[in-house]
């Protein structure tokens, strides 16, 4: 009895999963989706179903595969060691891209207080790299500080989004919403395709849902249930907030806004309230960026410890933080920020989101297709196995469609980046063969 007293219950786990998922993913989406119109809400519905399937499948993987490496460890169960590397590599690249996208979101809200940032693309770029540098160096004191900051700052976006979902209906205008429904006169299928990658972006991070199974009461029941509840809650909040904002702010204004939540609260209440919400959004972006940069540093450290990444990624400082790996990651982020400079902040954000979503679907598919063998190895009963295979198949097919929906440019560059991963692994594999030969020689001598 005492062994369970310190374990987390269903509601505690549901809260943690919700906080991890929501982060800053929603912060610029109302403006991005406004380019399609209110009909893009159909994409939210499809994404919610797909996200539920992914959450369930990853929860099952996390319950029955406790090896270090998360998605990479799952992938290895079905596809071998090379897939551990490819999953780690593509996830690493995805998080580098995501970090830049979050920094772009942060600059969009920061422009309200520092108008200089939006005068030229170069000014915006300066703001992006400044944020990336500050948050990366804030990570050097290790996981404890990063975790404490992120746990507080994430509420800077959850409170406004959840608040708008509940009270925003008092300002909702059906006429404004009707005018914004389908401004481009496109079909439902085209609207879903146009909004899929953007809405899927808001759910990235769902792969970490089963990571806490060892600290949860009755994990076989509570882990999948918490994942499902958190995903349903997040989806409902996303859909409600996006719907409300499109019924308050005229579509042509919303589509050009770099700080949609600050804008809507300013219209609902006063400019001062809008400024407070904008400041909270900046805080949330900084905290989310801090957390994801640290997560990515840990991903590369685990891979380095397994000799799949260069050794330098595994070197840690006195705070047990992989400082050298962080500096390498920062260099990649700064290069990417240079490569994606755009005339408008929203265009830069959309390019980054599409590329991040496509690349993230690679480890998703590798990991999710391992669910069958993971459950077989765990000797689950036939009913649980069948349910897992059905839901897992939905998750995989949805992930493939999510990759397709990112568009030709993202698919093209994402495929090139993934193929480069196999090129890098060729050198790693040959190095491993040399190591094995040395071991054999030592044993035989």
pLDDT tens digits, one per residue of 208-257: 655 555 566 777 777 778 778 888 888 888 889 989 999 999 988 998 88
3-class DSSP state for residue 41?
Answer: helix
The whole-number average pLDDT for the span 436-443 is: 47
Exposure string of 354-369, with b = 16+ CB inside 10 Å and e = fewer, is bbbbbbbbbbbbbbbb
Give residue 374's pLDDT band: very low, low, confident or very high (50, 70, 90).
very high
As a whole number of angstroms, the distance between CA 61 and CA 74 comes to: 7
At 144-191, the pLDDT tens digits run 666 667 667 778 888 888 899 999 999 999 999 999 898 888 888 888
Q: What is the dihedral of CA 413, 288, 274, 174, to 10 degrees?
A: 60
Is 214:1 a contact under the CB 8 Å cutoff? no
What's the whole-number average pLDDT of the chain?
84
Is 366:79 a contact under the CB 8 Å cutoff? yes
As a whole number of angstroms, the distance between CA 283 and CA 379 comes to: 45
At 47-94, the pLDDT tens digits run 989 988 998 898 888 888 877 777 888 999 999 988 999 998 998 999
Percent of the chain with pLDDT over 70: 89
Q: Report the half-sphere exposure of 412 (CA within 13 A, side-chain side).
A: 4
State residue 146's pLDDT score. Answer: 65
Q: What are phi and psi of 403, to 5 degrees?
A: -65, -45
Q: What are phi and psi of 381, to 5 degrees?
A: -75, 165
Sign of CA dihedral 69, 365, 86, 146: negative
Distances (CA, A) of 54 to 60, 122, 344, 392, 437: 10, 39, 33, 7, 41
Which positions ≥6 away from 331 have C-beta within 8 Å?
none
Q: What are phi and psi of 342, to 5 degrees?
A: -130, 160
Instruction: Determine the straight-line distance between the first and last CA of the chain, rounded to whole angstroms.
Output: 54
- The alpha helices in 181-270, defined as continuous H runs, are 188-201, 219-246, 251-254, 260-268
DSSP state letters, 104-120: HHHHHHHTTT-GGGGSS
Q: What are phi and psi of 216, to 5 degrees?
A: -115, 140
Instruction: Please say if the pLDDT value at position 264 is more than 90.
Output: yes
State residue 211's pLDDT score. Answer: 55
State residue 176's pLDDT score. Answer: 92
Q: Which letter does DSSP use for residue 259 in this model?
A: -
State residue 379's pLDDT score. Answer: 93
State residue 164's pLDDT score. Answer: 92
The whole-number average pLDDT for the span 385-392 is: 94
As a whole number of angstroms, the distance between CA 21 and CA 47 comes to: 14
Range scoring the smallest mean pLDDT among 124-138, 289-303, 377-391, 418-432: 289-303
- The alpha helices in 111-217, defined as continuous H runs, are 121-138, 143-153, 155-167, 174-180, 188-201
As a whole number of angstroms, the distance between CA 355 and CA 204 comes to: 13
As a whole number of angstroms, the distance between CA 360 and CA 418 comes to: 10
Q: Which residue has the higher pLDDT, 221 or 8?
A: 221
Instruction: Please say if the pLDDT value at position 39 is more than 80.
Output: yes
State residue 399's pLDDT score. Answer: 94
Instruction: Please count the other Cβ atoms lying within 10 Å of the Cβ belonging to residue 413.
Output: 16
Instruction: Please count the other Cβ atoms lying within 10 Å of the Cβ belonging to residue 236.
Output: 14
Instruction: Please say if the pLDDT value at position 404 is more than 90.
Output: yes
Is 290:150 a contact under the CB 8 Å cutoff? yes
Q: What are phi and psi of 8, to 5 degrees?
A: -85, 140
As a whole number of angstroms, the distance between CA 46 and CA 61 comes to: 23
Q: Select, from the ranges 180-194, 211-225, 283-297, 420-434, the one with the highest average predicted confidence (pLDDT).
A: 180-194
Instruction: Please count the other Cβ atoms lying within 10 Å of the Cβ belonging to residue 120.
Output: 12
Q: Which two tokens stand for residue 263?
A: 């804008």
As a whole number of angstroms, the distance between CA 254 and CA 277 comes to: 16
Per the DSSP assignment, residues forming a β-bridge with 8 are 216
Question: Which class for 338: exposed (0-12), middle (13-18), buried (19 or more C-beta within 10 A)?
Answer: exposed
Is 140:9 a contact under the CB 8 Å cutoff? no
Which positions ≥6 away from 292 have C-beta within 8 Å?
23, 95, 98, 99, 102
State residue 344's pLDDT score. Answer: 74
């Amino acid at each position: 009895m005492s062994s369970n007293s310190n374990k987390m219950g269903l509601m505690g786990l549901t809260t943690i999963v919700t906080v991890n998922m929501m982060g800053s993913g929603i912060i610029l989406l109302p403006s991005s989706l406004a380019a399609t119109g209110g009909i893009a809400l159909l994409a939210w519905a499809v994404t919610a179903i797909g996200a539920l399937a992914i959450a369930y499948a990853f929860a099952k993987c996390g319950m029955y595969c406790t090896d270090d490496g998360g998605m990479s460890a799952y992938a290895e169960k079905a596809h071998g060691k090379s897939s551990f590397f490819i999953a780690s590599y593509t996830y690493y690249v995805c998080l580098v891209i995501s970090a830049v996208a979050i920094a772009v979101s942060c600059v969009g809200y920061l422009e309200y207080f520092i108008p200089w940032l939006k005068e030229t693309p170069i000014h915006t770029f300066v703001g992006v790299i400044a944020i990336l540098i500050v948050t990366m160096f804030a990570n050097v004191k290790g996981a404890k500080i990063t975790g404490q900051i992120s746990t507080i700052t994430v509420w800077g976006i959850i409170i406004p989004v959840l608040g708008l979902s509940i009270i925003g209906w008092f300002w909702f205008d059906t006429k404004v919403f009707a005018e914004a429904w389908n401004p481009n006169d496109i079909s439902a299928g085209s609207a879903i395709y146009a909004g899929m990658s953007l809405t899927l972006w808001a759910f990235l991070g769902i792969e970490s849902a089963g990571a806490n199974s060892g600290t949860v009461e009755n994990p076989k029941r509570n882990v999948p249930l918490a994942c499902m509840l958190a995903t349903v809650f997040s989806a409902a909040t996303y859909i409600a907030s996006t719907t409300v904002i499109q019924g308050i702010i005229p579509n042509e204004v919303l589509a050009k806004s770099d700080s949609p939540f600050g804008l809507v609260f300013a219209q609902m209440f006063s400019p001062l309230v809008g400024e407070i919400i904008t400041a909270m959004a900046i805080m949330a972006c900084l905290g989310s960026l801090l957390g994801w940069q640290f997560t990515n540093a840990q991903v590369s450290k685990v891979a380095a410890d397994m000799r799949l990444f260069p050794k330098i990624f595994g070197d840690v400082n006195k705070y047990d933080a992989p400082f050298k790996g962080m500096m390498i990651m920062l260099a990649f982020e700064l290069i990417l920020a240079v490569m994606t400079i755009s005339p408008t902040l929203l265009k830069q954000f959309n390019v980054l989101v599409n590329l991040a979503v496509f690349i993230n679907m690679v480890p998703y598919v590798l990991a999710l297709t391992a669910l069958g063998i993971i459950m077989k190895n765990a000797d689950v009963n036939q009913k649980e196995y069948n349910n897992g295979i059905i839901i897992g198949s939905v998750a995989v097919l949805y992930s493939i469609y999510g990759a397709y929906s990112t568009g030709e440019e993202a698919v093209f560059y994402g495929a090139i980046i993934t193929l480069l991963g196999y090129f890098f692994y060729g050198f790693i594999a040959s190095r491993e063969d040399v190591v094995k030969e040395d071991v054999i020689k030592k044993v035989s001598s």
